[in-house]
Structure 1
Amino acid sequence: MSDDEGASNNELLLAACREDNLGLLDEVLSSEPDSFSINHTDGLGNSALHYAAKYASTDCLEILLYFDGIDINIKNRLEWETPLHKAVAYEDPETALTMTRLLVEAGASTTALNKQKQTPADKAPSDTHGEVKEYLETVRIGSNYDARDIPADDDDDSDGVASDED
């Protein structure tokens, strides 16, 4: 590519998510599908999701999570961190919680380990991000249970309330 061609769609994708620029993101996502890769990474292995989470580009994050083929659990090369690792560590606890919920609801792994063997919950600052840690703990505990492990109501009156009688 020559210097007069400008940035590639992959570079524009990362820039849009770094700057929370919905217009630019829409332009890239509306272009020819083979002109960009939704999972493109920069030299350090950061994807558009990494940038959206790191810079709290929540609008871009929401749009990316609905894009077919997006790798929600992609790890970067330097720290081996997923976008969820970046989201939980964002400086504003409310924004961190919003991004964390979006990513987890889209299927982000809460148990992925980075290079330091830290889960996303380990990356959330303890002194300010208590709600983020609590949410991740609730998700972790919930994922250890299967609906088949919960006994069904076996009484005969079918009112949906468990019977205390044997």
Structure 2
Amino acid sequence: MADDEGASPRELILEACRRNNASLLEETLADLTSASKKAGKKPADYIAEVLNKSHDGVGNGCLHIAATYGSYDVLDVLLDQEGIEIDEIDRMERDTPLHKAVRYVNSLSKAEWSSGHHIVDILLDAGCDPRIRNKAKLKPVELVDPRNAELRSILQKGEFAMTAGDDVVQEDDDGATGSGSDSD
């Protein structure tokens, strides 16, 4: 790449994630929308492809990086993008963005924990699966500092909701509604 070209979209996305710079991310997404038209692709598909392929040198995707740095505003923008992979696994620890968010909260002082919980909340609200285990066979809830009962509760509720949600979906797909009895 020539010096006068500037940073690539991938570099801009990752920098926005590190710095919680939603404006930079939105500008980059707007540029990708323009580039998609020139490439003859649907903007949402093109943006999702670029976001899902944006990794740092050790295999962290953009959601991993945003969660690692507690970049709430950037996470909010990223999670609004259609087709973004929310449960991507990193190469090193096989962590999901939710694992990284828990590690971020653990890195805060005890007084700051509650301000970090919103990072976990936004990922759970977006549908991140708290049941996924990493390389050490740990779920995000198992990484929580034992003194942080509130975060443990948030993750347990998220896990229960996802498990119960799976059961409801399976019941809904069983066929016709109505009485469970064979007699009509």
* Fold shared per TM-score above 0.5: yes
TM-score, length of structure 1 as denominator length: 0.81
- Contact 1:25 1:60 (8 Å CA) reproduced: yes
Q: In the alignment, residue 121 of structure 1 is paired with which amino acid?
A: V
- The residue number in structure 1 matching 2:42 is none
- The residue number in structure 2 matching 1:24 is 24
Q: How much does 1:52 deviate?
A: 1.1
- The residue number in structure 2 matching 1:134 is 153
Q: In the alignment, residue 4 of structure 1 is paired with which amino acid?
A: D
- The residue number in structure 2 matching 1:57 is 71
Matches of 2:116 and 2:139, distance apart in 1: 15
More helix by share: 2
Identity percentage of aligned residues: 38
Q: In the alignment, residue 120 of structure 1 is paired with which amino acid?
A: P
Matches of 1:107 and 1:28, distance apart in 2: 25
- The residue number in structure 1 matching 2:126 is 106
Q: How much does 1:38 deviate?
A: 1.1
Q: In the alignment, residue 3 of structure 1 is paired with which amino acid?
A: D
Matches of 2:96 and 2:62, distance apart in 1: 11
Q: How many aligned residue pairs are there?
A: 148
What whole-Å deviation, never above 9, does each CA across 1:65-85 have from its counterpart, x for those lacking one?
110111110111111111100
Q: How much does 1:107 deviate?
A: 0.7
RMSD: 2.0
TM-score, length of structure 2 as denominator length: 0.73
Matches of 2:116 and 2:137, distance apart in 1: 21
Q: In the alignment, residue 68 of structure 1 is paired with which amino acid?
A: E
- Contact 1:56 1:95 (8 Å CA) reproduced: no
Q: How much does 1:16 deviate?
A: 0.4
Unaligned stretches of 5+ residues in structure 2: 37-45, 172-184
**Structure of higher CA gyration radius:** 1
